[in-house]
């Protein structure tokens, strides 16, 4: 388990002073930090088809980048290259534990856990991100420079690399094992490995209005909603046929606004949108389907753990009505187990003590059985 140490700050003080405002170095944010995954294991993951990975290096002073899967790394030498693996939380339980230290932020804001292995001199170059990131230094050291927010010019250093022009640093530090660098969106930064090193970045993304509206339009199409035509049965004769009157403009706008004002429909979309997996889930299907009685007994002796990368959320005003959202799907359940479902959504692992009030509740056991059989939750040894 990784425990975040904010030094003299409380979590709320960090949010008030730094979150989405300015970068900060948190020395020894993780005390006694140990890499949750070895470099050769990370390299092995990047050889698999379903893993999103990238190699960045320089050839004759020119930036190069390639996307995995990779077959080998020997040709890269012993310096000036970096390997990045996205969504490591989907594939490594040990690495996913890092995310637990940041549960003071809502999980729907989470993007993923990224891991980076770098040889001396390795870097992905100076760039900006459109998400908040906590860069947690693992083994080795890296030199980081962070510039101020402002008008920075970006350019393609390679077709797969968007870099930013040189910037003046407001933070210029070496990170050692256990140090954390927090960077809000829009602040240019560059990290260069000083020796063979690993780092782990917990990213928190906010969706743009365009991406939400685009997804909402897809949702309307998929559910055959929003097909009602604009009507104007009480149309009056006009003297200026080229004019769009204020009344007509309001009618067109209201046609869209009514879709957004359909609270039930938009909330269903939002729940499905926020819980849709970023990457294909590596579900843990049981060898044989669980039976209800079996699950009731197992909940008293085993912990149940949520699959890495699975997203499960609820709205504060509809959870008591028996609605939650798991992996892009709205799930209805008996509202008398709402508090049990909150536990499933709030915690990655539930131990027998957490489940003692629910292990003999027929509705909860039925839901737990369904989730176990879908491979979304799985049995784990109680610690």
Q: What are the tens digits of pLDDT across the range 344-362?
A: 999 999 999 999 999 999 9
**Which helix (H) or strand (E) is 354 found in, with range?**
helix 352-355
Query: Which letter does DSSP use for residue 30 in this model?
Result: S
Q: Looking at residue 155, what is its pLDDT?
A: 94
How much of the chain exceeds pLDDT 90, in percent?
Answer: 89
Average pLDDT for residues 129-146, to the nearest whole number?
97
d(CA 161, CA 62): 11
Quick one: pLDDT at residue 328?
Answer: 96
Does 273 map to a domain?
no
Domain count, the chain: 3
Residues 149 and 23 in one domain: yes
CATH of the domain at 321: 3.40.366.30
Q: Is there a single domain that holds both residue 107 and residue 136? A: yes
> Does position 219 have pLDDT exceeding 70, yes or no?
yes
Whether the per-residue pLDDT at 283 is higher than 90: the answer is: no
Same domain, 118 and 177: yes
pLDDT value of residue 7: 84
* 2 within domain boundaries: no
Token reading at 332: 């209805």
Q: Which of 144, 142, 129, 157 is nearest to 65 (CA)?
A: 157
Beta-bridged to residue 109, according to DSSP, are none
Shared domain check, 124 and 139? yes
Looking at the predicted structure, is the pLDDT value of residue 75 above 70? yes
**Residues 48, 71 within the same domain:** yes
| H-helix or E-strand spanning residue 342 | helix 338-346
Q: Under DSSP, is residue 203 helix (H, G, I), strand (E, B) or coil?
A: strand
pLDDT tier at 364, thresholds 50, 70, 90:
very high
Parent domain of 86: 11-205
Rounded Cα distance, 28 and 61, in Å: 34
pTM above 0.85, yes or no: yes
Query: In this model, does residue 1 exceed pLDDT 80?
Result: no
pLDDT for residue 242? 92
Would you state the pLDDT for residue 83?
98
The Cα-based distances of 192 to 118, 173, 187 in angstroms read 8, 11, 17
What's the pLDDT tens digit per position in 102-126?
Answer: 999 999 999 999 999 999 999 999 9
**pLDDT of the residue at 26:** 97
- Is residue 314 scored above 90 in pLDDT? yes
Shared domain for 37 and 157, answered yes or no, is: yes
The reply to whether 1 falls in a domain is no
Structural domain includes residue 275: no
pLDDT reading at 221 higher than 90: yes
Q: Are residues 15 and 111 in the same domain?
A: yes
Asked if 131 contacts 33 with a C-beta cutoff of 8 angstroms, the reply is: no
The share of the chain scoring above pLDDT 70, in percent, equals: 99
Q: Could you give the CA distance from residue 296 to residue 252 in angstroms, rounded to a whole number?
A: 55
Q: How many residues can be counted in the chain?
A: 383
Q: Which two tokens stand for residue 158?
A: 């390679």
Residue 5: its pLDDT value, please?
95
Beta bridge partners of 16: none
Confidence bin at 383 (pLDDT 50/70/90): low
pLDDT of the residue at 381: 78
Residue 25 lies in a domain: yes
In a domain, 37, yes or no: yes
What the block records as the tokens of 357 is 């009030």
Statement to judge: residues 16 and 155 lie in one domain: yes
**Are residues 218 and 305 located together in one domain of the fold?**
no
DSSP letter (8 states) at residue 84: E
118 CB-side CA count, 13 A: 29
Tell me: pLDDT of 17 over 80. Answer: yes
| Mean pLDDT, all residues of the chain | 94
**Helix, coil or strand: residue 181:** strand
CB 176 within 8 A of CB 140: no
pLDDT digits (tens, 9 = 90+) for 262-281: 999 999 999 999 999 888 88
Query: Strand, helix or coil at 191?
Result: strand
């Amino acid at each position: 388990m990784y425990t975040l140490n904010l030094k003299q700050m409380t979590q709320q003080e960090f949010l008030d002073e730094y979150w989405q405002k300015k970068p900060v170095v948190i020395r020894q944010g993780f005390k006694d930090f140990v890499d949750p995954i070895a470099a050769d294991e990370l390299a092995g993951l990047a050889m698999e088809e379903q893993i999103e990975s990238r190699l960045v290096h320089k050839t004759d002073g020119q930036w190069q980048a390639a996307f995995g899967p990779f077959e080998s790394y020997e040709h890269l030498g012993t310096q000036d290259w970096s390997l990045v693996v996205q969504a490591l939380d989907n594939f490594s339980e040990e690495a996913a534990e890092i995310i637990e230290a940041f549960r003071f932020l809502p999980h729907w804001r989470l993007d993923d856990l990224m891991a980076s292995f770098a040889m001396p001199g390795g870097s992905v170059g100076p760039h900006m991100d459109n998400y908040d990131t906590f860069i947690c230094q693992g083994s080795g050291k890296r030199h980081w420079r962070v510039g101020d927010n402002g008008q920075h010019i970006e350019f393609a250093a390679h077709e797969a690399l968007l870099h930013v022009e040189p910037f003046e640093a407001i933070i210029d530090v070496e990170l050692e094992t256990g140090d954390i660098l927090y960077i809000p969106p829009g602040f240019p930064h560059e990290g260069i490995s000083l020796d063979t090193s690993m780092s782990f970045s917990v990213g928190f993304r906010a969706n743009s209005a365009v991406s939400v509206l685009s997804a909402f339009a897809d949702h309307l199409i998929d559910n055959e909603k929003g097909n009602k035509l604009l009507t104007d049965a009480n149309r009056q004769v006009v003297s200026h046929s080229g004019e769009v009157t204020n009344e007509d403009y309001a009618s067109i706008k209201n046609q869209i606004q009514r879709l957004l004002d359909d609270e039930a429909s938009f909330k269903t979309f939002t729940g499905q949108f926020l819980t849709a997996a970023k990457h294909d889930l590596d579900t843990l299907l049981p060898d044989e389907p669980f039976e209800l009685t079996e699950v009731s007994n197992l909940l008293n002796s085993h912990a149940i753990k949520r699959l890495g990368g699975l997203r499960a959320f609820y709205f504060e005003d509809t959870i008591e009505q028996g609605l939650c959202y798991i992996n892009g799907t709205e799930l209805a359940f008996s509202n008398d187990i709402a508090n049990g479902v909150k536990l499933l959504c709030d915690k990655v692992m539930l131990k027998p003590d957490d489940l003692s009030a629910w292990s003999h509740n027929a509705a909860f056991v039925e839901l737990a059985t369904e989730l176990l059989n879908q491979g979304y939750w799985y049995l784990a040894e109680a610690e």
